[in-house]
Homo-oligomer: A and B are copies of this chain.
């Protein structure tokens, strides 16, 4: 059960300093902290916290008239997590714009002790992102991975941190539910996956195999790059490649949509949907 709400009357109150001007700055990179927005994401954060799945809520800030609506969610949050409430003018003063949803939390990721690579099931579908620097695209990849039951996401170190506010929001909280790891180079990730029996499928407009015709296997990895540059040659040259057939007029689909289509095709091929 959450703590009794504490009223905040000034945007300068130091207790809610982390929520100040959230559009202009971003807490990520500072001790794995992030901002969760909206009821759906708050619910996922509360569940992850309650079930010790790698994330904790540190503090919650609500528009006063939203507190009752999220009471059931707050009931899942331990009572050492402070809950602050504010009127609309104070809340807007804190965050720096009109926050019509009125539900915010400061969360923290707790890096796991186990190795994600070695914790994957015998039958697994994973997504690997290379150079995904756009926060929207990173968030969409998590949302798609959750929709099609992917088991994990691996991001190379040139991809953005999915804890960024916009990525988290676009993922509709899926960053909190799909296990992920962000480190090293795409090539190192793919070699490690290969060593663990994964069939690697890079996605590219010039891929050799029609995505509708790839041969399913127990362990499959889909690898996607940025829209502009695509995947590095060192990656494309070394692994099997797949393409989504499409109009010759257009360069390529948006990476989020392409990832969704390819994951859907692979999950279908593997009889996972």
- Chain A residues proximal to chain B, CB less than 8 Å: 140, 143-144, 146-149, 170, 172, 174, 177, 212, 244-247, 249-254, 256-258, 260-261, 264, 268, 273
Contact = CB atoms under 8 A, between A and B. Distances in A.
Nearest to A248: B149
Contacts of A257: 140, 143-144, 256-257, 260-261
Given A245-B273, A264-B261, A250 B146 contact: yes
Contacts of A244: 264
Contacts of A170: 254
Given A143-B250, A170-B254, 11 more contacts: A143-B253, A147-B246, A147-B250, A148-B247, A149-B247, A174-B250, A177-B249, A245-B273, A258-B260, A260-B261, A261-B261
A113 to B, nearest CB: 25
Contacts of A148: 246-247
A273 B246 CA distance: 6
This protein's copies in its complex: 2
Given A148-B246, A246-B148, A260-B260, A143 B273 contact: no
A224 to B, nearest CB: 13
A249 B40 CA distance: 12
A254 B140 contact: yes
A123 to B, nearest CB: 16
A261 B140 CA distance: 14
A195 to B, nearest CB: 28
Contact of A144 (B144, B149, B253, B273): B253
A250 B150 CA distance: 13
Nearest to A44: B249
A212 B267 CA distance: 12
Nearest to A268: B212
A247 B140 contact: no
Contact of A147 (B144, B212, B253, B256): B253
B247 A147 contact: yes
A258 to B, nearest CB: 8
Nearest to A173: B250
Contacts of A143: 250, 253-254, 257
Contacts of A144: 253, 257
A136 to B, nearest CB: 8
Nearest to A256: B257
A175 to B, nearest CB: 13
Contacts of A172: 250-251
A260 B253 contact: yes
